[in-house]
Amino acid sequence: MQYRRVPNTTLRLSEIGFGCAGNSGLLVRGSRNEQSQTIARALELGINYFDTAPDYGDGLAEENLGEVLRALRQRPVITSKVEVRQDDLADIAGHVVRSCEASLQRLRIDRLDILQIHNGPVASGSPEGRGYRTLALEDYLRPGGALEGIVRLKTAGKIGDAGFACRGGDIGEVRALFSTGEFRLINLPYTLINPSAGLSSPPAGEPDYGGVINDAGGCGVGCAIFSPLAGGVLTDAHLDGAAGHPLARPRDRSSADARRAQERARRVRFLARETGLTLAQAAYRFILMHEHVTTVIGGFSSQQQMEELVQASGMGPFGPDHMARLHTAWQADD
Please provide residue 7's backbone torsions phi and psi, each rounded to the nearest 5 degrees.
Answer: -55, 145
Q: Is the dihedral of CA 54, 60, 62, 63 positive or negative?
A: positive
Runs of H (alpha helix) within 220-302: 236-239, 256-268, 270-273, 279-288
Are 13 and 49 a contacting pair, CB within 8 Å?
yes
What is the pTM (predicted TM-score) of this model? 0.95
Residue 19: closest CA among 101, 81, 95, 83: 81
26-80 residue pLDDT tens = 999 999 999 999 999 999 999 999 999 999 999 999 999 999 999 999 999 999 9
Assigned fold of 3-331: TIM Barrel (3.20.20)
Least confident among 129-143, 233-247, 271-285: 233-247
Give the single-character DSSP code of 46: T
pLDDT reading at 334 higher than 70: no
Are 134 and 122 a contacting pair, CB within 8 Å?
yes
**Where does the pLDDT of residue 103 fall: very low under 50, low under 70, confident under 90, or very high at 90 and above?**
very high
Domains of the chain, by residue range, sit at: 3-331
Number of Cβ atoms within 10 Å of the Cβ of 136: 19
Number of Cβ atoms within 10 Å of the Cβ of 172: 12
114-140 residue pLDDT tens = 999 999 999 999 899 999 999 999 999
Give the whole-angstrom CA distance, residue 33 versus residue 75: 19
